[in-house]
A and B are shown apart, each in its own frame.
Chain A
Amino acid sequence: MAKPRELRRRIKSVQNTRKITKTMELVATSKLKRAQDRVVAARPYAAALAEVIGDLYSPELAERFPLLRQPKDGTAGSRRVALLLITSNRGLCGAFNANLIREARHRIDALEGEGATVALHIVGKKGIAFFKFAKRPIASQRTDIGDKPTAAHATELVGPLMAQFAAGSLDAVEVVFAQFRSAVSTPPTTLPVLPIAPPGAGEGERGRAGAVNYILKPSAEAILEQLLPLYVRNQVYRALVETAAAFLGAQRTAMKNATDNAGDIIELLQRTYNRARQAQITQEIAEIVGGAEALKG
């Protein structure tokens, strides 16, 4: 049986670990609250943009805008795709980054299987570290986007991609990010950003019928031209915000599990320790009694 002193040392060590994980859990919980508020606060803008673009969109106009250009069927073999993978800078969040990376790899494999060339753009240290290790060339990377992504970050990220797409040197842009359904459900998701799938196009009837007869200045076309880039940026912004919130959710869950686990281990060690201590005392008494008996004899 392990020595009581050894056990005491281990109990101390696990207690310290539990203190750390407990603190991280609390920190993640409070940050999650704010991150969640940001996700919710970003919704009205996205909804407003989508609604207006849906109102103004018509298939005849689509031909004129590079950002709406749909891929031609014949060119499927040589498509050039930019994949933007959003991961976190930090770990201790369970399988969060592993799931995102797996989703990205599946997507890359699928695209390359079709003969497309994929340029990889990565946000977050974890994704970068993995693809560096896998010796895959990374087209661009950045690690300076933390818990609080801003619209400006999204603009910097997707701006060059939009320019390339408009110039015709890219055929599609997709984003792999963690969708924030709730703090515990954050499935990794692939979102095609470019070419733009016109919002509300699926609803068809409602969008058309609901459209008000606006006075438009300067013209539907000019407004659409200005708003489409905003829409693309906003989609990337939302991906960033949702991933940030999802990361904190995953971290909180991971730290809660770690804290609970540490508790279980401490309980087990404490039991073992008590038994070892009891055994030692019993043995000492037995020895003393034995010694006294021997003296009497």
Chain B
Amino acid sequence: MHVTVISPERGVFDGAADAVVAPAFDGQVGILPGHAPFMTLLGKGVLTVQVGGGGSGSNRFEVAGGFLQVVGDAVRVVADQVQTL
């Protein structure tokens, strides 16, 4: 599935991934391929984008505010503040 992480200043991540764990407003949400269309507000916390199964390569970001959107096979994380960990 295709994941993009966007901050106001720039696109932070853009590529294929196996799973996304995001801090939603009311707790963590995990997104796997084939998720239903979904939109939620983000809280504050660590966003993990897993690339190449088994957690061998995962990208972690500190995010706050914004939203997460799943449409088709694409996940879009649009966050107000993003910091790469």
Contacts and interface: CB of A to CB of B under 8 A. Distances in A.
Interface core residue of A38, A214, A222, A237 (most chain B CB under 10 Å)? A214
Nearest to A151: B8
Contact of B9 (A52, A150, A212, A222): A150
Contacts of A38: 9-10
Contact of B69 (A52, A213, A230): A52
B39 interface: yes
B65 interface: yes
Interface residues of A, number: 26
Interface in B30-85: 36-41, 65-67, 69, 71, 76, 78, 80-81
A214 B39 contact: yes
B3 interface: no
A214 B11 contact: no
A218 B80 contact: no
B11 A215 contact: no
B16 interface: no
Interface string A211-227: 01111111000110011
30 contacts: A38-B10, A41-B10, A41-B11, A44-B4, A44-B11, A45-B6, A45-B7, A45-B9, A48-B76, A52-B39, A52-B69, A151-B9, A151-B81, A214-B69, A215-B37, A215-B38, A215-B39, A217-B38, A217-B39, A217-B41, A218-B26, A218-B40, A222-B41, A223-B41, A223-B67, A226-B41, A226-B65, A226-B67, A227-B66, A230-B80
Given A151-B7, A212-B71, 4 more contacts: A41-B11, A151-B9, A214-B38, A218-B26
